């Protein structure tokens, strides 16, 4: 295995650990229809098969591709990764705006301390 290949394998494992901090091999195996043993090999730095790598690219998009293949292509894929990140952030912003709009229709939120004090007052009564 070349140094670049080893680095790519290491990056795949790193990405998976970021995605699934617990039960990484089990969750990766389930996500990519592989055996848990195969997923453990990926976590140890073995390169996934082409079919599994394509499935990973489909799941995680440009950010994954840019990160994993940076040792080969350098930073040339970063604009695509940043565009994907921007799109994801826009989706998060829209979800937050909906949450704020829905919260505005509900009664005002009280601080947690006030709620605890209210419960203690009810318990004393």
> In this structure, is residue 37 part of a structural domain?
yes
Beta strands in the chain (DSSP E): none
> In this structure, is residue 9 part of a structural domain?
yes
> In this structure, is residue 59 part of a structural domain?
yes
> In this structure, is residue 84 part of a structural domain?
no
The pTM is what?
A: 0.61
> In this structure, is residue 104 part of a structural domain?
no
Written as one string, the DSSP assignment of 18-35 is HH-SSSHHHHHHHHTT--
Count of domains in the chain? 1
pLDDT in tens, the chain (125 residues): 678 889 999 999 999 999 999 999 999 999 999 999 999 999 999 999 999 999 999 999 888 998 898 877 766 667 776 777 788 888 888 988 888 888 777 766 566 555 556 566 666 55
> In this structure, is residue 122 part of a structural domain?
no
Three-class secondary structure of residue 106 per DSSP: coil
Q: Are 43 and 29 in contact (CB under 8 A)?
A: no
Please give the residue range of the domain that contains residue 22. 3-77
> In this structure, is residue 92 part of a structural domain?
no
Mark 32-46 as b/e (b = at least 16 C-beta within 10 Å): bebeeebbbbbbebb
């Amino acid at each position: 295995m070349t140094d670049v290949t080893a680095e790519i394998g290491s990056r795949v494992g790193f990405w998976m650990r970021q995605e699934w901090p617990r039960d990484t091999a089990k969750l990766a195996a389930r996500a990519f229809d592989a055996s848990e043993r195969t997923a453990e090999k990926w976590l140890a730095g073995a390169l996934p098969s082409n079919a599994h790598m394509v499935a990973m690219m489909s799941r995680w998009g440009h950010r994954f591709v840019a990160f994993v293949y940076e040792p080969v292509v350098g930073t040339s894929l970063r604009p695509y990764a940043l565009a994907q990140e921007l799109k994801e952030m826009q989706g998060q912003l829209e979800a937050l705006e909906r949450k704020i709009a829905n919260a505005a229709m509900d009664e005002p939120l009280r601080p947690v301390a006030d709620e605890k004090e209210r419960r203690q007052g009810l318990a004393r009564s």
